Structure 1
Amino acid sequence: MDKQELKIYEIMEVCLLAGKIILQSGGETYRVEDTMMRMAAAFGIEKTHSYVTPTGIIFSAEGDEPEPAKTRLIRISERSTDLKKVALVNSISRKISSGEVNLKEALEQLNEIDSLNLSFPIMIQVAAASLASGCFMIMFNGGWNDFIPAMISGGIGYFAFVYFHRFVPIRFFSEFLASFLIGFLSFLFVKIGLGHQLDKIIIGSVMSLVPGLLVTNAVRDLMAGHLVSGLSKGAEAFLTAFAIGSGIAIVFPFV
């Protein structure tokens, strides 16, 4: 492998790593493709092609004629929401475009971002989900006397979702079990007299599980013409909504 070919592969590695971080962190498909193509252009490769789906990235770069195009594939197995990482990768992309960062520095910084765990501690996440559940309940015209039950149900439900997901990596089952627990706790609060409007408590409590970012990205990708990614994310959002609805539905026959 000559130096020119080796450099192309190094550039592709940087571009794919940036795309992988954005896609795993909840970024849109168009953002992944645009970032990879801009970074490759800044390093001197003008002719690039990318094909991005929620589960994988195919990236192709054409060197000088008559060299054939180089193509690499990377698999995406885990996806979460971490917009801080998306912002950090975008910042590195802008520095590459302006010439502030070279290829080696970009690779080191991207590897550092990839290894970071920028998520808030679990108890802060639970506290935020709990407070959001109570506020959503009020937003849906619930009464203030149901604020505390909604907070407790939503917080425990979100904690159960995170806890179950560690043991069962399939999101459908963890979302199903968490929503069932939310429905059961909401019914229990109403049964013992601490809660009053069962529907409002449940609606507020499950909002922390609702796939808002997935729906937004699915619509954005469909509007941008990324039909495969848009439909895939839409199907994933539908499965999440179905899991939440199914978990709640099991509780209602006992109401």
Structure 2
Amino acid sequence: MNNDIVTKNTKSLHRKLNILLRTGMVLMESAADTNRIVRNMQRVAAFLGLEERYLHIDVLYGTIKVNYSDETHSFSRFMHSDKYTINMNVLSAVSRLSWRAIREDYSIKQFERELNKIRKMKPQYPAWAVTLGTSLGCGGFSVLFGGDWASFVPATIAGAVAYVVRFFMLKRGFNFYMVTAMTSFVATLTAWLLFLALPTNFTDYPYHSFLCCCLYLVPGVALINFLDDMLDNYLHVGLARFANGVLQIASMAFGIILAVSVCSVDNFLKDLSMAPNISYGEAAIVTAISAMGFGMNFNVPRHSLPAVAILGILGMLLRNVLAFDLNVGLILGSLAGASLISLVAVRLVHHTRTPNHVISIPGVIPMVPGILMYRGIFGFVHLGNDVQEFMGAFSNLLNAALIVLCLSIGVAIPNIFARRWIAFSRKQELHRLIEDRRRRGKFVDFSLFD
């Protein structure tokens, strides 16, 4: 075959591999779990005419590699990025594009244009709305974890102040872990200053707002993705996500402990109750506020916010009934609540036109046990020679870890089973579309490179 033709075909294949890599990287940068990255890349590969049997996708943390080869040919590309943001709208948009491109027979140029639009897509919400929503979520945490409605106010104000600091520090390129530590320090310090400024009898639960004002920094998405990856056998990526989550928690704890030391606050965490002091109706309202607030922080599509609120309410109410009314415990209550959220989210996928993780994860976040994390870390920092204090601190950290694990399992395991059940028809449709494209000569032929 003419060398010019072979060179042209080689360039065309490299272009397709680069498009495939960019698709995967857009998902990775937006906090998609590895299974979602691979599934979307496989659909895009089918659109590009790349045979699944010749395609090899290797996902590492921050790096994606693709290889297209048979017994006599091999073409490889890889791409790396250090960018990481939680952007649920991008996950939803890429998923829709991967199906639309193959159904409507997009040209490669048309697909690239749409993908670039997604990469440059503006946030669903203005900065002030995200700040407000996130800070209201912090106020909601304070009420949900045992505070009263008065404690909602200082937690919200402190959360807003710290979020603004975080926004400008990230915009100026500061180290992410340093930003996390500084944000938690500013939030805790602001809550303490408000505690001094407000009347003594303003709230009966001042320390709840003191602790909940920066709970939006808890890496719930990273920890949920960690377990998803481990269950799907993407061990290296899962462990990297876990290490990243641990570093975020450590940075957050450092800022809080530094603020607590500056404020000379005693170890008040040992007896701080997490049992809610509000009715179920009030719990539903505040859960909806928190879930939608964090949904805005994660850039969930606007039309999906009501679903996020409903899922959050269902999960939280079930958790509270089991944990506090039936005395089953927070661990099993959290598992049941997260499982319910995941199962209902799977059923809402077609109604919301949104992947289930996009609406289930923000609904689960209000159940993250931040107070137990702080209580355990604070206990170890102020640990003396008392064995009982050591066991108390260890117990708090262990319970927090188990609850986070149960939240992750609740999101992941029902999703895995339900996804295999409801995805059968979609898989059949994909195979039909692939066979149609193969009949029309849309797939890469290795003989073109000889």
Q: TM-score range by the shorter chain?
A: over 0.9
Contact residue 22 and residue 85 of structure 1 kept, 8 A = yes
- Count of matched residue positions in the alignment of Structure 1 and Structure 2: 253
1:181 aligned residue: 186
Contact residue 12 and residue 59 of structure 1 kept, 8 A = yes
Q: Which moved more, 1:241-250 or 1:43-52?
A: 43-52
**1:129 and 1:45, CA in 2 relative to 1: closer, same or farther beyond 3 A?**
same
Bigger Rg, structure 1 or 2: 2
**1:223 and 1:110, CA in 2 relative to 1: closer, same or farther beyond 3 A?**
same
2:99 aligned residue: 94
Q: Which runs of 5+ in 2 are unaligned?
A: 1-5, 266-450
2:112 aligned residue: 107
Q: Structure 2 matches for 1:145-164, cutoff 5 A? A: 145-164=150-169
1:121 aligns with 2:121: no
Contact residue 155 and residue 209 of structure 2 kept, 8 A = yes
For 1:208 and 1:3, the matched residues in 2 are separated by 50
1:204 aligned residue: 212
For 1:106 and 1:135, the matched residues in 2 are separated by 42
Contact residue 133 and residue 206 of structure 1 kept, 8 A = yes
How many angstroms does 1:62 deviate by? 2.3
2:401 aligned residue: none
1:235 aligns with 2:240: no
For 1:198 and 1:225, the matched residues in 2 are separated by 44
Contact residue 164 and residue 174 of structure 1 kept, 8 A = yes
**What code does the residue aligned with 1:58 have?**
K
For 2:186 and 2:40, the matched residues in 1 are separated by 41
How many angstroms does 1:198 deviate by? 4.2
Match of 1:55 among 55, 62, 69: 62
Match of 1:143 among 145, 148, 172: 148
Contact residue 175 and residue 244 of structure 1 kept, 8 A = yes
> CA offsets, 1:9-55, max 9 Å, x none?
12112211111111111111111122212221333211111111221
How many angstroms does 1:71 deviate by? 0.5
Residue 208 of structure 1 aligns to a residue in which SS? Answer: helix
2:406 aligned residue: none
How many angstroms does 1:244 deviate by? 1.0
> CA offsets, 1:98-137, max 9 Å, x none?
2532222111111221122325222111111111111111
1:74 aligned residue: 79
2:227 aligned residue: 219
1:132 aligns with 2:137: yes
How many angstroms does 1:192 deviate by? 3.1
1:169 aligns with 2:174: yes
**What code does the residue aligned with 1:201 have?**
S
> CA offsets, 1:132-157, max 9 Å, x none?
11111100010122111011011111
State the TM-score, normalized to the length of structure 1. 0.92
Q: Which moved more, 1:158-167 or 1:17-26?
A: 158-167
How many angstroms does 1:168 deviate by? 4.0
For 2:69 and 2:237, the matched residues in 1 are separated by 25
For 1:248 and 1:93, the matched residues in 2 are separated by 43
Contact residue 30 and residue 88 of structure 2 kept, 8 A = yes
**What code does the residue aligned with 1:42 have?**
F
Match of 1:249 among 243, 250, 257: 257
Match of 1:9 among 5, 8, 14: 14
> CA offsets, 1:201-223, max 9 Å, x none?
13321122111111111111111
Residue 213 of structure 2 aligns to a residue in which SS? Answer: helix
What CA RMSD, in Å, does the superposition of the two structures yield over aligned residues?
A: 1.7
Structure richer in helix, relative to its length: 2
**1:112 and 1:221, CA in 2 relative to 1: closer, same or farther beyond 3 A?**
same
How many angstroms does 1:159 deviate by? 1.3
For 2:93 and 2:197, the matched residues in 1 are separated by 49
For 2:154 and 2:102, the matched residues in 1 are separated by 51
**1:250 and 1:128, CA in 2 relative to 1: closer, same or farther beyond 3 A?**
same
